[in-house]
Amino acid sequence: MKEINIIGMGMSEKTLTAEALELIIEADILIGAKRLINEFSHMNKLRYNAYLSNDILEIMEKTDAEKIAILVSGDVGFYSAAEKLVDVLNDYGPNLVSGISSVSYFFAKCSLPWKDANLISCHGIDTNIVSSVRRNRYTFALTGKNIPELQKELVKYGFSDLKVWIGENLGSDDESIQESKISDLDGMEFSSLTVLIIENPDFDSRIRTGIPDEEFIRGKVPMTKSEVRAVCLSKLSLSPTDIAYDIGCGTGSVTIEMAFSAYEGKVYAFDKNEDAIALLEQNCQKFHLDNVDGICGLAPECLKDLPVPDVAFIGGSSGNMDEIVSYLHGINDKMRFVITAVTLENAMAGLDSLKNVGISGDIVQVAVSKGKQIGDLHMLMAQNPIFIISGSGARE
């Protein structure tokens, strides 16, 4: 039986653990990317320049070597090639050997704790970096020649004054570590092997529901009021990684609260009114929410060719309720719907649309009266009652 060790190299040979070095010395052959295996050219071992899982599997099937060391950069548990290798080489029962990750290395170099840091990769991955920075004191980010785009995003959403540590080519002779402000990164160039630590001393990890109406930037566009929003969000029951649709988003108040809940996911907000989409974008910037895409158009046509949603809130259908519900249920028969209506007719239309796709909807009426101070007294002022219809194919 072959002995296969998938070894995390850390940043370079200088950050290799004693355990890893011993296994490399004992190995009959070394497999890995050129820059990794060349670190051991002095050992005069047979070396294979390969980093794709299928190429490594092919080598494994042809070699007579009994002890094999597969070298991967960093640590085997942090955005590592080891994850796919374990699946491909499962029949060989590979052993994982941890390395020193860029996370622990860089935080130590910056004399910072990382026990509460949020770790993200912005290297070829659509990541909500603004949401991470908003929610965490420290955000560690892997990058890949996209720091200018990340900088613009953070400035756009109000984080230009935050402190950032930049680490380039960590562990190598070309290592560079510097401190800056987000705003000062504009125009600077960095290597593809660059990581960031962003500090937000005023981080806010709350998932906000029922945000006071006066906190939103308002226009002449309709807005779902605070107390109704709170009920709608409880019915939506969003998870952090959900994909959510807000159809007929208006000012974007429900979108904003959906985005707070789905902070690792995405919210797509739709409205036929361009002013509504403009207001939505302003509110997203105010609340530091980058996980929202606003789209101007009429549903269901404007919903097509987008990621499949887990939940949908329908605050306005422009008479297309049946078509919208049918389309959404067609692409995900397990999704959860929440529909609001002001009139009895529209409420029944919402229930009927759900019934047409096999969902038995639940309906509640929310009637809110808010206190208004008149002199030394308080008087309750009634808002329009709202019907809230909800139902799903599988989440009940």
pLDDT of residue 11: 86
pLDDT of residue 396: 43
Q: Does residue 247 sit in the same domain as residue 107?
A: no
Angle at 129 between CA 187 and CA 132, to 5 degrees: 135
- Neighbouring-strand partners of residue 338: 313, 390
Please list the alpha-helical segments (H only) found in the chain. 18-26, 34-37, 53-62, 82-88, 102-109, 129-135, 147-156, 226-236, 253-261, 274-286, 321-331, 344-356
Position 35 in a domain: yes
**pLDDT digit string, tens, across residues 364-391:** 999 988 888 888 889 998 888 999 999 9
Q: Does residue 347 sit in the same domain as residue 377?
A: yes
pLDDT of residue 212: 95
Position 325 in a domain: yes
Position 205 in a domain: no
Point out the domain boundary residue: 78, 100, 122.
100
Q: Does residue 238 sit in the same domain as residue 339?
A: yes
Q: Does residue 325 sit in the same domain as residue 246?
A: yes
pLDDT in tens, the chain (396 residues): 789 999 999 988 788 999 999 999 999 999 999 989 998 989 989 999 999 999 999 998 899 999 999 999 999 999 999 999 999 999 899 999 999 999 999 999 999 999 999 999 998 777 899 999 999 999 999 998 899 999 999 999 999 999 999 999 998 889 999 999 999 999 898 998 899 999 999 999 999 999 999 999 998 888 999 999 999 999 999 999 999 999 999 999 999 999 999 999 999 999 999 999 999 999 999 999 999 999 999 999 999 999 999 999 999 988 899 999 999 999 999 999 999 999 999 999 999 999 999 999 999 999 988 888 888 889 998 888 999 999 998 644
CB 141 within 8 A of CB 195: yes
pLDDT of residue 269: 97
pLDDT of residue 383: 87
Position 204 in a domain: no
**CATH number of the domain that 314 lies in?**
3.40.50.150
User: Structural domain tally of the chain?
Assistant: 3
Residues in the chain: 396
**CATH number of the domain that 162 lies in?**
3.30.950.10
CA-based nearest residue to 311, from 336, 289, 329: 336
pLDDT of residue 394: 63
Point out the domain boundary residue: 84, 100, 116.
100
Q: Does residue 170 sit in the same domain as residue 252?
A: no
Could you tell me the strand order of the sheet in which 67-72 lies? 46-49, 29-32, 67-72, 3-8, 95-97
Q: Does residue 43 sit in the same domain as residue 78?
A: yes
Q: What residues have CB less than 8 Å from 191, skipping those under 6 apart?
A: 168, 169, 174
CA gap 178, 158 in Å, rounded? 22
pLDDT of residue 144: 87
Q: Does residue 151 sit in the same domain as residue 290?
A: no
pLDDT of residue 237: 95
Q: Which domain holds residue 238?
A: 213-392
pTM above 0.85, yes or no: yes
Position 206 in a domain: no
Q: Does residue 131 sit in the same domain as residue 86?
A: no
pLDDT of residue 204: 96
Q: Does residue 19 sit in the same domain as residue 132?
A: no
**pLDDT digit string, tens, across residues 300-311:** 999 999 999 999
